[in-house]
Chains A and B, each alone.
Chain A
Amino acid sequence: VRIHPGWPGAETTYVNADAAVVTVTVEVGAAPHRPVGPLASTGADLDVLVVWALALIVVGVATLLLARIRLENPHA
């Protein structure tokens, strides 16, 4: 956007104003900390997702460990 103000002339001095415009756009509901995909509709924050993911990993690892223990000691 370029503005060319008028100039005070040699014979008259005056105040002038020229204007231009800049479009401003904002996206709502798609902030980067919002999850995308199936959980998006819950509005859960990314940090909540991280906690859930960690919890799932812990549960998964624990399940695997339990399964391995049961395999090694089927009578335990």
Chain B
Amino acid sequence: MRKFRKLAAGVAALTVAGVGFPAGAQTDEVPVSLENTSGSRTILIEDMTGNELQELAFGASRSLPFRVRVQDQAIAATPFTVNASLTNLYFDETGVDYSTLIESENVKLEPQVGLGFDVLDLEATVQPIVDLVATLTGPLAPICATLTGAISLPTGGCTVEATGVVADVLDLTIPVDLSNLTNLPLLPQNPDTGFFTEAEYGGGVGLGDPAGANGTGGRLAGTQWKLAAGSPVTSNLVFDPLTDAVNDLTRSEIISDAAVLAAFNEVVTKLASPLINTLGATTTDLLNATAATAQTLGADELLALTGQYISLPKLSVTVPVKDPALPAGTYRGTLVVTGLQ
């Protein structure tokens, strides 16, 4: 069954800022329904205290940090990229003056010193494939004589194995060490460093600049820099620790009793119930005698990820010296942020 989510409320506030979306993107006033087979991913542009960012107001300062937070909730480990382009900054005291401007090439994007990104609250949802081994000793030992294919133990009794059994869906905490990210299934990346050498004319205040026409009815696009990104990693360095984490759990935490008994019944017809009961043992004895070991996890067993990926960029502006000098006042531009996956 398809699940649909209405996803537009968060951007409605943009109307207040009086700025539009670039051509081809969804507007802020149209409810957008998107097919979402599992989980959610939300990208938030925030100030450094976590408030949603509507404006990067430099004031008289010339550098401003902000953050991009990608919040995944039980979503597949798919890549994401958050890009930004920038319009020129136009003189705007009583209205936008497109002839008086600070060119976008005077604005630089770069990571905040020492803080490129962070990862928080990371969890993997996995469904391991396990091998089950029941050691039939004590009250279960008499069963061995009735079984074909059981492996006899030198101390008496035998073992019965059921391999390749689908276990329960598990949520595992992934430890995050920012000095060693090799265990992360979705690897975050630093923001780019660079100047917005080409101005954006396809969004925000740039839409009204007559210099932005590209001659074919469209608008000139600006330099795109990466604010944040994450790319899937499927190496053993990711999956071995997850496998170990599963194997640190008890059998009953990994796979349900019902699944264990069903698996053994497939291996030995009616082992789990009629046979055991006939011989005076119980299914509880069998469950207590069963160990589960996860096979090495891979991408197929990683169902989803939950967590927050926080990118920490900053913008710096250099006011150019011009002749005649730029008039004092407010210069307004638009940072167009695009999320891709």
Interface string of B39-76 (1 = CB under 8 A from A): 00111110000001111111110100000000000010
Q: From residue B339, how far is it (CB to closest CB) to chain A in Å?
A: 4
Q: How far is the CA of A4 from the CA of B11 in the complex (A)?
A: 9
A25 within 8 A of B: yes
Q: How far is the CA of A8 from the CA of B32 in the complex (A)?
A: 15
Q: How far is the CA of A25 from the CA of B80 in the complex (A)?
A: 28
Q: How far is the CA of A15 from the CA of B292 in the complex (A)?
A: 40
**With a CB–CB cut-off of 8 A, which chain B residues contact A20?**
11, 14, 21, 28, 45, 336-337
**With a CB–CB cut-off of 8 A, which chain B residues contact A30?**
59-60, 328
Q: From residue B175, how far is it (CB to closest CB) to chain A in Å?
A: 27
A6 within 8 A of B: yes
The contact of B340 among A5, A22, A24, A28, by CB within 8 Å, is A5
Place the interface of chain B in its size category: 35 or more
B332 within 8 A of A: yes
Q: How far is the CA of A9 from the CA of B204 in the complex (A)?
A: 30
Structural contact, A2 and B42, CB atoms closer than 8 A? yes
A76 within 8 A of B: no
Interface string of B303-341 (1 = CB under 8 A from A): 000000000000101010000001111111111111111
**With a CB–CB cut-off of 8 A, which chain B residues contact A26?**
58-59, 62, 89, 102, 317, 319, 330-331, 333
Structural contact, B338 and A23, CB atoms closer than 8 A? no
**With a CB–CB cut-off of 8 A, which chain B residues contact A50?**
none
Count of interface residues, chain A, beta-carbon cutoff 8 Å: 28
The contact of B60 among A4, A18, A31, by CB within 8 Å, is A31
- Known contacts: A3-B43, A5-B339, A10-B35. The answer to whether A18 contacts B334 by CB under 8 A is no
Q: Which of B13, B52, B328 has the most CB of A within 10 A?
A: B328
**With a CB–CB cut-off of 8 A, which chain B residues contact A9?**
35, 37
Q: How far is the CA of A4 from the CA of B28 in the complex (A)?
A: 11
- Known contacts: A19-B203, A24-B86, A25-B55. The answer to whether A6 contacts B329 by CB under 8 A is no
Structural contact, B44 and A18, CB atoms closer than 8 A? no
Structural contact, A4 and B7, CB atoms closer than 8 A? yes
B25 within 8 A of A: yes
Q: A interface vs B, CB < 8 Å?
A: 1-10, 15-32
**Can you list 17 A-B contacts with CB-CB less than 8 angstroms, sorted by A residue number?**
A1-B11, A5-B43, A5-B339, A6-B35, A15-B341, A17-B25, A18-B338, A19-B22, A20-B337, A22-B56, A23-B55, A23-B205, A25-B58, A26-B62, A28-B102, A28-B328, A29-B329
